[in-house]
């Protein structure tokens, strides 16, 4: 530690002080029950000043920094404790290290925290990582020019955070639209019989559910809860590896070949069935997760079956959704496309609040079946899916150019000058080619569309979006605005949930006793607490309530264990264990068990928007996900 701090980062005794030598009150933060506290090992400060600039915590070599297994009973890992310490003392950054892993914690007071990790074992193999470590954390980033400090760099990064999240959300929205177009084409190929009894809203719900299933599976695979790493699973079922396999095929054979292959969609459906019903085979075992999210009979048309059929006795007829479309779905979830290039996304440490933020935009839209030929138009950032019947455009054109411009501006939100320019110039050959391809060479329809060709927008594959009569179309909906479904950041839910539930989990605050006299309630009392959000949206408050109550339950279990009691995996406290299954010794496993028990027994939510309900259930499942355990709740 001293070598890194003084030789590599170039701090000296005037600017880096050990906590044991700090003059005055040592900065600290207490656990919720005030029984434990956390203090820094080192404090970085300006020479001659006692105002901290950053904190450093040094733990035992090889000690896990992201594990809540701590002897003091405080259910918070080292990174979480550093975040709390920084915020309690209005210090922006902190460092946590065990000598091999170095974690930089960014803890702004008014926005979500973040972290990045360096591994010392790679410094000599990958000198660029060592250089980045030295550049970001060196003394010059603390006491150099204001515009070049680490805080300034982090502030600049935060400016792009919303852009990144919006980009990911837009990718998922585009992918959902492409999936609906693929389903619509499959329906058209079957003489409109496949989706004849499927309401448009149900089709949109099914498409969004497919994206949620993919997110859930990616999270479970990367967290080691499924069979990722098994050769057979990786080759034939894994979602995490499928994108790489399809991308390799695209590089080797071209997109045209992917458009003529349809096995990837069948593989995805098989993976969904495996998650739902499990696998029992001598070479592969996957416990059944169950849950409504993966129920094959909820949207049987995704498998080419009728609404009244059962997956147990009706053979599936996988829809002809080509591999190129599947590659787009997976790219939208696993690769972030930005002005700085493509970045691979990891679902191992994905925060459920980020899922809510990405999917909230999807709640703004729905699917309708168009009665006549309709054009999808290019719109402003506020009009994501503008569309207008072709006959409306023709009527406006008949009334004059200005009437046509006004009509298009009203639908798309685009500047009038830009729309007028599109209408006044002839369409290029590539644009016309895309138009003619989208309508399958219908010459009569092409003649009607050509005057408006420059207005037509393209899908994620660059194909013109033209909806034929009776096709399904994604459009802006009103459900979310009417139901008030809006994403709530974790920085807000943490504070509200903490202050709301604290009087319920401790004896003392209700009687006005000082905090030192508070006493945590028993595990049975804590597990009996009921929390209901009557307008839950994506479930942000319920997720945080589940986290908070579970941590208090684990603390209560520890108190019972300290006096010789036995705790079972069902949360019961016994004098004698008998035949019951004992609670695991691992603190991390205990937290997951506690979250599941809290979710099953005390977390309730209601929302008028059915898609918000599904998103909330997904969020709860992600924070309670456990190996070999089914999805809790319905």
pLDDT digits (tens, 9 = 90+) for 262-321: 999 999 999 999 999 999 888 888 888 888 889 999 999 999 898 889 999 999 988 889
Helix (H) or strand (E) holding 58: strand 54-58
Say if residue 171 is exposed, middle or buried (CB neighbours under 10 Å; 0-12, 13-18, 19+).
buried
* CA–centroid distance for 222 within its chain: 13
Residue 259 near residue 182 (C-beta atoms within 8 A) = no
The 3-state secondary structure of 425-441, one letter per residue:
CCCCHHHHHHHHHHCCC
The reported pLDDT for the residue numbered 445 is 92
- pLDDT, averaged across the chain: 87
Residues 403-455: tens digit of each pLDDT: 999 999 999 999 999 999 999 999 999 999 999 888 888 899 999 999 999 99
Say if residue 62 is exposed, middle or buried (CB neighbours under 10 Å; 0-12, 13-18, 19+).
exposed
For residue 486, name the pLDDT band (cuts at 50, 70, 90). low
Strand, helix or coil for residue 198: coil
282, two tokens: 């001598």
Helix (H) or strand (E) holding 270: helix 263-277
Among the residues of 127-199, which ranges form H helices? Answer: 127-137, 140-143, 150-189
Would you list the DSSP string of 285-330? EE-----GGG-TTTSGGGGT--TT--TTTS--------HHHHHHHH
- Cα distances (angstroms) measured from residue 511 to each of 499, 542, 598: 15, 27, 26
Strand, helix or coil for residue 222: helix
Exposure pattern of 347-359 as b/e (b: 16+ CB <10 Å)? Answer: beebebbbbbbbb
Strand, helix or coil for residue 284: strand
- What structural domains and CATH numbers belong to the chain? 2-144 (3.90.1570), 160-369 (no CATH), 374-469 (no CATH), 484-624 (no CATH)
**Which strands form 42-44's sheet, in the order they lie side by side?**
16-18, 42-44, 54-58, 93-97, 101-106, 114-119
CA distance 35 to 386: 58
Strand, helix or coil for residue 422: helix
Helix (H) or strand (E) holding 507: strand 506-507
CA distance 254 to 231: 26
483: number of Cβ within 10 Å? 17
CA distance 354 to 490: 9
Task: Mean pLDDT check: name the lowest of 185-199, 240-254, 259-273, 432-446.
Answer: 185-199
Counting residues of the chain whose pLDDT is more than 70, the rounded percentage is 93
- Cα distances (angstroms) measured from residue 487 to each of 222, 254, 479, 492, 537: 25, 40, 14, 11, 7
Residues 606-630: tens digit of each pLDDT: 988 888 888 888 888 888 887 667 7
For residue 229, name the pLDDT band (cuts at 50, 70, 90). confident
Residues 137-149: tens digit of each pLDDT: 888 888 878 888 8
Mean pLDDT on 463-477: 87
Task: Mean pLDDT check: name the lowest of 50-59, 109-118, 122-131, 578-587.
Answer: 109-118
For residue 480, name the pLDDT band (cuts at 50, 70, 90). very low
Say if residue 485's pLDDT is above 50.
no
Q: Which of 245, 258, 172, 240 is nearest to 210 (CA)?
A: 172
Residues 366-389: tens digit of each pLDDT: 899 999 999 999 988 777 778 999
For residue 483, name the pLDDT band (cuts at 50, 70, 90). very low
Strand, helix or coil for residue 29: strand
Mean pLDDT on 124-136: 89
Say if residue 499 is exposed, middle or buried (CB neighbours under 10 Å; 0-12, 13-18, 19+).
exposed
Q: pTM for the complete prediction? A: 0.77
Say if residue 157's pLDDT is above 60.
yes
269, two tokens: 């459906």
Strand, helix or coil for residue 466: strand
* Maximum Cα interatomic distance, the chain, rounded to a whole number of Å: 88
CA distance 177 to 329: 10
């Amino acid at each position: 530690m001293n070598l890194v701090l003084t030789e590599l980062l170039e701090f000296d005794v005037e600017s880096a002080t050990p906590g044991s030598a700090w003059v005055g009150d040592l900065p600290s933060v207490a656990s919720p029950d005030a029984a434990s506290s956390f203090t820094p090992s080192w404090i970085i400060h300006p020479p001659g000043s006692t105002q901290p600039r950053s904190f450093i915590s040094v733990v035992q070599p090889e000690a896990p920094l992201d594990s809540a297994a701590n002897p003091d009973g405080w259910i918070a890992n080292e990174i979480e404790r550093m975040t709390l310490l920084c915020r309690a003392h209005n210090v922006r950054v902190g460092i946590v290290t065990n000598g091999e892993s170095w974690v930089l914690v960014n803890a702004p007071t008014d926005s979500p925290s973040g972290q990045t990790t360096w591994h010392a074992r790679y410094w000599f193999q990958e000198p660029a990582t060592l250089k980045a470590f030295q550049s970001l954390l060196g003394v010059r980033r603390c006491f150099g020019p204001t515009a070049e400090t680490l805080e300034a760099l982090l502030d600049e990064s935060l400016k792009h955070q919303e852009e990144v999240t919006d980009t990911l959300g837009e990718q998922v929205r585009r992918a959902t639209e492409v999936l609906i177009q693929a389903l619509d084409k499959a329906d058209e190929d079957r003489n409109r019989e496949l989706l004849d009894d499927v309401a448009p809203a149900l089709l949109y719900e099914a498409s969004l559910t497919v994206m949620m299933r993919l997110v859930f599976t990616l999270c479970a695979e990367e967290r080691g809860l499924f069979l990722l790493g098994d050769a057979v699973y990786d080759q034939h079922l894994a979602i995490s590896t499928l994108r790489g396999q399809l991308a390799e095929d695209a590089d080797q054979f071209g997109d045209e070949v992917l458009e003529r292959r349809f096995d990837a969609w069948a593989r995805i459906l098989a993976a969904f069935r495996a998650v739902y019903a499990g696998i029992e085979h001598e070479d592969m075992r996957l416990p059944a997760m169950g849950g409504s999210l993966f129920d094959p009979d909820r949207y049987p048309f995704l498998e080419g079956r009728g609404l009244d059929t059962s997956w147990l006795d009706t053979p599936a007829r996988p829809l002809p959704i080509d591999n190129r479309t599947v590659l787009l779905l997976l790219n939208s979830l696993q690769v972030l496309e930005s002005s700085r290039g493509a970045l691979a996304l990891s679902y191992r440490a994905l925060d459920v609040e980020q899922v809510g933020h990405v999917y909230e935009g999807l709640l703004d839209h729905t699917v309708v079946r168009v009665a006549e030929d309709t054009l999808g138009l290019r719109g402003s950032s506020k009009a994501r899916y503008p569309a207008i019947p072709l006959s409306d455009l023709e009527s406006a054109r008949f009334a004059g150019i200005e009437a046509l411009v006004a009509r298009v501006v009203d639908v798309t939100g685009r500047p009038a000058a830009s729309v007028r320019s599109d209408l006044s110039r002839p369409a290029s050959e590539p644009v016309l080619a895309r138009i003619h391809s989208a309508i399958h060479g219908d010459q009569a329809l092409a003649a009607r569309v050509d005057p408006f060709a420059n207005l037509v927008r393209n899908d994620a594959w660059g194909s013109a979006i033209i909806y034929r009569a009776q096709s399904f179309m994604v459009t802006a909906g009103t459900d979310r605005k009417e139901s008030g479904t809006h994403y709530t950041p974790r920085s807000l839910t943490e504070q509200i949930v903490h202050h709301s539930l604290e009087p319920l989990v401790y004896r003392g605050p209700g009687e006005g006793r000082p905090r030192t006299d508070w006493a945590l309630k028993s595990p049975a009392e804590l597990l009996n607490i009921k929390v209901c959000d009557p307008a839950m949206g994506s479930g942000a408050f319920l997720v945080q309530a589940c986290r908070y109550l579970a941590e208090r339950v684990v603390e209560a279990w520890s108190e019972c264990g300290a006096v010789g009691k036995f705790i079972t995996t069902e949360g019961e406290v016994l004098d004698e264990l008998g035949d019951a299954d004992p609670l695991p010794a691992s603190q991390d496993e205990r937290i997951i068990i506690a979250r599941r028990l809290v979710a099953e027994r005390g977390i309730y939510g209601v929302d008028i928007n059915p898609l918000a309900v599904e998103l909330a259930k997904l969020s709860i499942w992600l924070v309670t996900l456990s190996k070999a355990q089914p999805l809790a709740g319905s």
